[in-house]
Structure 1
Amino acid sequence: MTEKTLDLLDVGQNARVIQVKGKGPSRRRLLEMGMVPGVGLSVIKRAPMGDPVDFKLKGYNLSLRKQEAQMVVVEVLGGIQ
């Protein structure tokens, strides 16, 4: 099992959320958007400068800034598609 933060995943990789770090409004916002432990996601695309990154989870697309993605620890599930 390989653990990383979301900002380190490559386009096409699949992962499962293990933990959302941080405190306060930023953490709460991520949890409300569906970044809860156990949820599966995949990296769809990355902006040309690397920020933001688009993820697919729970049937919808979610864009996160690099700073937000660094708060989410995931288990890498699959290789690049």
Structure 2
Amino acid sequence: MYSGELEVQAKRKAVAVLQDEINRILNAGRSLSLLPELIVKKDKAGIKDAMEQITSLEEEVETLRRKITRDVADVGGLIL
């Protein structure tokens, strides 16, 4: 396997992780957009569920950010 191929694989992996991160951010945005209606209705259970979903998605996104940073650092050493 030549270094150009390693670079292509690394880019594909990075793009896949970034797409996963974007999907989670969109899901958090969807949950967030429901909050005003739940607040107006004073639906405490719904608010709690939405906040838990958002918090969980935030943690997943942070994990993915650390993963992409680690992957980019690892690949940087391989390419050089």
What's the TM-score once normalised by structure 1's chain length? 0.24
The structure whose Rg is larger is 2
Q: Say which structure is richer in strand.
A: 1
Q: Say which structure is richer in helix.
A: 2
What's the TM-score once normalised by structure 2's chain length? 0.24
